[in-house]
Amino acid sequence: MNRVAIPVVSAVCLFAATAVHAQGGPMMYQPSPYLGADALFWQLDPEGRGGDFDSTGLRVRAGVAFNDYFALEGHLGTGGSDGPVDLDYLAGGYAKGMLPVTPQFRIFGLLGATEVEFDGTDDSESDLSYGGGASYAVMPNLSVDADYMRYLEESRFDFEAVSVGATYHF
């Protein structure tokens, strides 16, 4: 996927959010921003090279929920090293579909694009990304969250992560 993918996916998500917000009707939902921080347990699986690289980093998430079912979210992550491989950064934007199972518990899916760079490489890689997870509200404005993301699925390698953290809802 080339560098055009992230702006295109971002524009589609922005259009979708505008359309969802415009259909508000008589019960208008106030957009709700949120900010989260996670431990990022990542794994890089190089195809044909034998052996995986994995480590732990930090990820910050920010987003806006437009209603109980749709949000836009961004991820920034860094850190972790396994021998010759260091995660320099990951950055991405995603559409987030949510399904409230109970008032406190919800499951969600993410779809978007991510750019990733590993320390020591000359360029970054970007690709369509997807994942899913769950969130549990421990207080009205605070939730604990866990998710799995497949950030890159390239012919040369796959990059994925499991994250666990907390989110504050403004």
- 86-106 burial, b at 16+ Cβ within 10 Å, e below that, comes to bbeebbbbbbbebeeeeeeeb
pLDDT of residue 166: 98
Q: Kindly indicate whether the domain formed by 5-169 is annotated with CATH number 2.40.160.20.
A: yes
How far apart are the two ends of the chain, measured CA to CA in Å?
35
pLDDT, position 22: 46
Residue 10 near residue 111 (C-beta atoms within 8 A): no
pLDDT digits (tens, 9 = 90+) for 61-87: 999 999 999 999 999 999 877 777 788
pLDDT digits (tens, 9 = 90+) for 4-50: 455 545 544 544 444 444 444 445 678 999 999 999 999 988 775 55
Provide the pLDDT confidence category of residue 151 given band limits of 50, 70 and 90: very high
Distance of CA 92 to the CA centre of its chain: 7
**Global pTM value:** 0.79
